[in-house]
Structure 1
Amino acid sequence: MKRVLWKISTLFAIFALPLSVAHAADPGKTNYVSIIGGSSGGSWYLVAAGQANVIKKHVPGVDATAQPGGGAENIIRVAKKEVVFGMTMSDNAFFADKGAREYRKKYPEIRAIMGGHDNPMKLIVRTDSGINSVADLKGKKVGMGYPGSAQAITTADLMESMGLRPDQDFKAQWLTPKEVAEALQDGTIDAGFIYIADPTGLIIELASRTPIKFIPLDLGKALAGKPYWYKTKVPGGTYKGIDEDYVTQGANVILITHKDTDPELVYQVTKALFEHVDEVGETHPAGKEWNLQNATRGVTIPFHPGAERYLKEKGVR
């Protein structure tokens, strides 16, 4: 696991694009900010695009755009002030704060803005694969996630917790969710993880072309001693051929920023995103989960003062 995480962490730096932490816009000037999400076309990216649209529309003097990224890498980019806002997973934030797992140092400058949508893990195989359990993955090619992404980190951790080590007990393939779906369809991998919100067009399209099934995880082992993960489900009928509820591991997506980001800007952004959550949901159904009910779910790091102010006004904090 440590070797795999070291490989992943060495790739974080390749995405650096210097930017400064944003401040509230001066009258007559436009403040340009970015929200870094996940892989292009995935749920994170689409939700980030919805959030950017809301900010542009409802926060005067601010123009926002979405950027592709990866959950673990996003924390580092926000900490370096390369982007103003970023999405990450609850477990990534937990370990970044402690300087553990995939993080070789602590990132105490990261602050939470809000909790958002649930990310259920899906372990997918073709129905003709002969694979029926996690144990059957020994020696197989398994799509894990692309380097630096929340999926790559989580799937490596998850598999080790269930007794299988990447590149030792099975052949880890570091692919984007889109590449995982394509490789399953083409038969170039035996199994693949997709760790994004449901429903996702990637699995809908895959299931329409190739008979698939979801493999159950050993949740007793997977969740033991991991307060940042929880049991969740994909409702039966969400995807073709998956008629029963699929009970699986889940974690929450959260929006973060740097502690130095202007409190007034963060307050106005927080207010706009919560009060126009239906508009966020126009780009992906998961956007509707970024509501006050889920505002603190999975958040283990301190809230930014600007976000804290709004949440206190609403009685959430």
Structure 2
Amino acid sequence: MVRHIKRRKFIALGGAAGIVGFAGCIGEDAEEEANGDDDANGDDDANGDDDANGEEEDFGEAEPDEGGEVLSWHAGGTEGTYYPLSGDVKSIVEEHSPHGIQVQSTGASVENVGSLQREEADFALIQNDIAYFAFNGTGIEEFEGEPVENLRGIASLYPETIHIVTQADSGIETVEDLEGASVNTGDVGSGTQVNALQILETAGVEDFDEQNTDFGTAADQIGDGDVDAAVTVGGWPLGAIEDLAVNQDIAFVEVEEDLREDLMNEAEWLAEDTIPGGTYDGVDDDVETVSVQAMIATHDGMDDEIVEDVTTAIFDNTDQFTTQADFIDVESAQDGMPIDLHPGAEAYFGDAEE
């Protein structure tokens, strides 16, 4: 679906970005709505493909020990970062605690907040900006005036880098060059769309053709020349872009210094970031951009001891991660935390500081 849009919808609102006009995915039909486009959060975020249908797959059933619980862990789509990272979590928690983890592929952040709100998930991965919006009842239409009061934080994990990808010969070098272009901004209602529209708005890009799909489809659209640029959000390297770069000459649109400063002044959860040269085939130079944080969230109905067990298993064994292993560390686990911690997480991190 292509929409020709005049965009002046991003506003600063109590330190939060206001994006309006999204399809919602927080109500009872959240999973169906989010998966209609297949992925409700870029990531992360997110970052689904046709497997992001709410079914458990690949990692097998939860395997709790005697006295342990089966815990539902909502991840993201299988082509992003959340899903393989959740496989690491499953292995670590099941080895170092009595509990079993059932990983579920989802539309990621926005959908996952809805699952936590309804207590259909025990734990979930979300972006820290989406957590802020949800907890404070602001920022995007789904949450406006309706804070998700039972949402609780556990830990920050790693930066979710905003990638703006295009064909190498597109001639698009700055965000401002996207005026009049066709841009895939991620699934409707997703964290990726929030970030993409924030960047475009802040850069003064008002008129563009917006397309909304998951990361895998967005990469295909770049490869086929169906869109001029696509915004994806996740820890590098992103699998969909890696695959694209093997078969297609690509480039990234840099978020230049002045624009980075404007964005960070408007949204406190954003941070400067760099995609190192050589991360993707054919892209040899560093690319300056911004990022949000991926984080683990839960809800206030979760048992304190279970949350502490899971948190302890994860952060006492960070050396066992194979995805984003360079970033996951107890020392940075509260960086960019935008919401109240669950008491079980407070207990662990309070002990860790002593």
Verify the 8 A CA contact 2:165 2:251 in the aligned structure 1: yes
C-alpha deviation, 1:27, in angstroms: 8.6
Which secondary structure does the structure 2 equivalent of 1:123 belong to?
A: strand
C-alpha deviation, 1:109, in angstroms: 1.2
Identity across the alignment (%): 25
When residues 5 and 159 of structure 1 are mapped into structure 2, their CA distance, relative to the original with a 3 A threshold, is: same
The residue number in structure 2 matching 1:9 is 24
Verify the 8 A CA contact 1:277 1:288 in the aligned structure 2: no
How large is the RMSD of aligned CA atoms in angstroms? 2.3
Counterpart check, 1:161 vs 2:202 = yes
The residue number in structure 2 matching 1:187 is 225
TM-score by length of 2: 0.79
When residues 30 and 268 of structure 1 are mapped into structure 2, their CA distance, relative to the original with a 3 A threshold, is: closer
Counterpart check, 1:117 vs 2:158 = yes
Identify the match of residue 103 of structure 2 among 49, 56, 65. 65
The residue number in structure 1 matching 2:188 is 147
When residues 175 and 92 of structure 1 are mapped into structure 2, their CA distance, relative to the original with a 3 A threshold, is: same
Verify the 8 A CA contact 1:120 1:196 in the aligned structure 2: yes
C-alpha deviation, 1:28, in angstroms: 4.2
* Corresponding residue pairs, total: 303
CA distance in 1 between counterparts of 2:179 and 2:84 reads 34
Q: Map of 1:30-69 to 2, 5 A cutoff?
A: 31-69=69-107
The residue number in structure 1 matching 2:285 is 244
Verify the 8 A CA contact 2:79 2:240 in the aligned structure 1: no
Counterpart check, 1:263 vs 2:304 = yes
The residue number in structure 1 matching 2:339 is 301
When residues 136 and 205 of structure 1 are mapped into structure 2, their CA distance, relative to the original with a 3 A threshold, is: same
The residue number in structure 1 matching 2:58 is none
CA distance in 1 between counterparts of 2:217 and 2:75 reads 18
C-alpha deviation, 1:210, in angstroms: 1.0
Code of the residue aligned with 2:227 in structure 1: it is I
Verify the 8 A CA contact 1:30 1:63 in the aligned structure 2: no
The residue number in structure 1 matching 2:249 is 211
Q: Which moved more, 1:124-133 or 1:183-192?
A: 124-133
Greater helix fraction, Structure 1 or Structure 2: 1
Code of the residue aligned with 2:246 in structure 1: it is S
Verify the 8 A CA contact 1:30 1:61 in the aligned structure 2: yes
User: What does the per-residue CA deviation read over 1:222-266, in whole Å, with 9 as the maximum and x for residues that have no partner?
Assistant: 222211111111111211222221111111111000011000000
Q: Specify every segment of 5 or more residues in structure 2 that has no aligned partner in the other structure, as ranges.
A: 1-8, 11-17, 33-53, 55-63
Verify the 8 A CA contact 1:115 1:252 in the aligned structure 2: yes
Verify the 8 A CA contact 1:231 1:249 in the aligned structure 2: yes
Counterpart check, 1:199 vs 2:237 = yes
The residue number in structure 2 matching 1:22 is none
Q: Specify every segment of 5 or more residues in structure 1 that has no aligned partner in the other structure, as ranges.
A: 18-25
CA distance in 2 between counterparts of 1:246 and 1:143 reads 20
C-alpha deviation, 1:180, in angstroms: 1.1
